[in-house]
Amino acid sequence: MAELDAIYRDVFEADPTLKADAEANRDIIERILELKDRKNVLILGHNYMHPLIYNLSEEDARGDSLALSRYAAKSDKPIILFDGVMFMGETAKILSPNKKVLIADKSAGCSLADPVRKDDVLKLKAMYPGVPVVTYVNSYADVKAESDICCTSANAVEVVLSLKSKRVIFLPDSFMGENIQQELAGMKKDIEIIYPGKKNALNRGICEVHERFTVEDLKLIREQYGIPKGHPKRAILAHWECRPEVLHEADFHGSTSQMSKYILEKRPEMVFLATECEMAANLAAEFPQTEFVRQCNVYCRHMRKITLNGILSALETEDPEKHEIFVDEEVRLKALKPIQRMLGISK
């Protein structure tokens, strides 16, 4: 148990019930760690992974989707195992074509990315000729390949402003498109954001996890836990993918990495995170001085497909079709451009 204790020390302190879980899975965890070392694999852990999975990654190999892809590109390890969903692994492959990129379950999709594909971008481009297309990294390679520039939830407004255009197409996230529009209005910027579902009949990309938070939920949390609006040490943080009215009710909104930065810098005594529940579980282990309101049952069913058994299978299998991510080279080269353009303006 010595090694498990070393890996999960902070996790067990934040949630002692996970000790039994780790013990029950000890054989699998030990085998994963052995294969990780023997095959020289970089294991990347997204913020929404279960703590027992998240902590299989080194500290600097955990975080948000784009930071992880950047890290993969810089690493000299020949094999990357991405503990996240498919579009994230695909982004890593686009940035690291010579590395083998693996995922525990290739069917791990995303309700936001799945309904908006290449044809939808082409339709919007035909409706608004010449209008630049900004694509959120939560999208597949075929969509990125038809775009002018990518963005993340940490730099979306910065990317839109960089285009100096009066109109911008934003996809696939409809709530985020609306949220960016409102943020720009607050900055007195006269830019029209066109997104799926706005004056068009295209499929709306919506995160089925963040969609579930309502203003009523947030008000209830404020009342129950004593988190008044604007309190300097007690706050509700919401992800950009939430509904616009939820962002208004929250004290702060940002990407997963910005929420984590908020806690690092402000050291609040209590927070509620309007985002996937595992994020609070992981941050609770990192910031023991902050109390995280854990009244949460909002899990991403796609992220949950990444299991310890699936990870072990990805490290053991010799069948490339089962776990390896491939991107057509022509599409990859086209998709790389908007990602690189974003990286050029937002370091």
Is 315 within 8 Å of 292 (Cβ atoms)?
A: no
Binding mask 302-331 for ligand SF4 (x = CB under 6 A): xx----------------------------
Contact with ligand SF4 (CB under 6 A): which of 72, 110, 151, 315? Answer: 110
CA Rg value for the chain: 20
Site for ligand 13P in 90-149 (CB under 6 A): 138
Contact with ligand SF4 (CB under 6 A): which of 276, 278, 284, 290? Answer: 276
Nearest Cα to Cα of residue 249 among 298, 212, 215: 215
Q: Which does 290 bind (CB under 5 to 8 A by kind): ligand SF4, ligand 13P, none?
A: none
Is 170 within 8 Å of 157 (Cβ atoms)?
A: no
In terms of Cβ atoms closer than 10 Å to its own Cβ (0-12, 13-18, 19+), residue 73 is middle
- In angstroms, the CA 259 to CA 316 distance is 35
In the complex, the smallest distance separating the C-beta of residue 173 from ligand SF4, rounded to whole angstroms, is: 8
When the beta carbons of 65 and 96 are compared against ligand 13P, the nearer one is 65
Show Cβ contacts of residue 85 under 8 Å, excluding neighbours closer than 6 positions.
Answer: 46, 108, 109, 110, 300, 302, 303, 306
Verify binding: residue 256, ligand 13P, rule CB under 6 A: yes
Contact with ligand 13P (CB under 6 A): which of 8, 52, 64, 103? Answer: 64
Verify binding: residue 207, ligand 13P, rule CB under 6 A: yes
Element (H, E) at 271: strand 270-274
Q: How many helices (H) and strands (E) does the chain have?
A: 17, 12
Verify binding: residue 35, ligand SF4, rule CB under 6 A: no
In the complex, the smallest distance separating the C-beta of residue 253 from ligand SF4, rounded to whole angstroms, is: 15
Verify binding: residue 253, ligand SF4, rule CB under 6 A: no
When the beta carbons of 65 and 181 are compared against ligand 13P, the nearer one is 65
Verify binding: residue 332, ligand SF4, rule CB under 6 A: no
Residue type, 85: V
Residues that bind ligand 13P (CB under 6 A): 64-65, 138, 152-153, 207, 241, 255-256
